C-alpha cells in the first residue's frame, strides 16, 4: 500500500525510499510473487511518469525480465514516456 500512496501522490522521492527499504536484506521476501510483480509494475509506471527517460530506460534494463515481467500497461507507459521525451528512436532498445 505504501507504493500505491507514492503513485497517488506522484512522489518519486518517497517511492525511491520505499524501494531502498525493500532492497534491504530479505525484506522483499515478505511479498509473494504476485504482489512483488505488482510492486515492481507500479514502481516502474511511476518512474515512467516522473523520471527522465534515460533513468527510466536504465531501470527497465535492470528490472526486466529479472525482477518483473512488464505488463501491457508498463509497455504503454514506457512508450508514452519515450514519446513525451521525443525519444521514439529508442523503441528498439525495449524489444
Please list the rounded mean pLDDT of every run of 10 residues in the chain (95 residues).
62 82 72 79 91 94 83 94 95 85
CA-to-CA separations, 9 to 20, 50, 77, in angstroms, rounded = 18, 11, 17
* pTM listed for this prediction: 0.81
Tell me what pLDDT residue 78 has.
96
Other Cβ atoms closer than 10 A to 41: 19
84, burial (CB in 10 Å: exposed 0-12, middle 13-18, buried 19+): exposed
Tell me what pLDDT residue 12 has.
82
Amino acid at each position: 500500500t505504501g507504493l500505491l500512496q507514492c503513485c497517488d501522490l506522484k512522489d518519486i522521492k518517497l517511492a525511491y525510499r520505499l524501494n531502498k527499504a525493500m532492497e534491504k536484506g530479505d525484506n522483499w521476501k515478505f511479498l509473494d510473487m504476485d504482489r512483488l510483480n505488482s510492486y515492481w509494475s507500479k514502481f516502474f509506471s511511476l518512474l515512467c511518469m516522473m523520471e527522465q527517460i534515460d533513468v527510466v530506460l536504465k531501470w527497465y534494463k535492470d528490472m526486466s525480465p529479472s525482477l518483473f515481467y512488464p505488463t501491457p500497461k508498463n509497455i504503454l507507459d514506457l512508450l508514452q514516456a519515450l514519446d513525451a521525451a521525443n525519444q521514439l528512436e529508442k523503441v528498439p532498445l525495449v524489444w
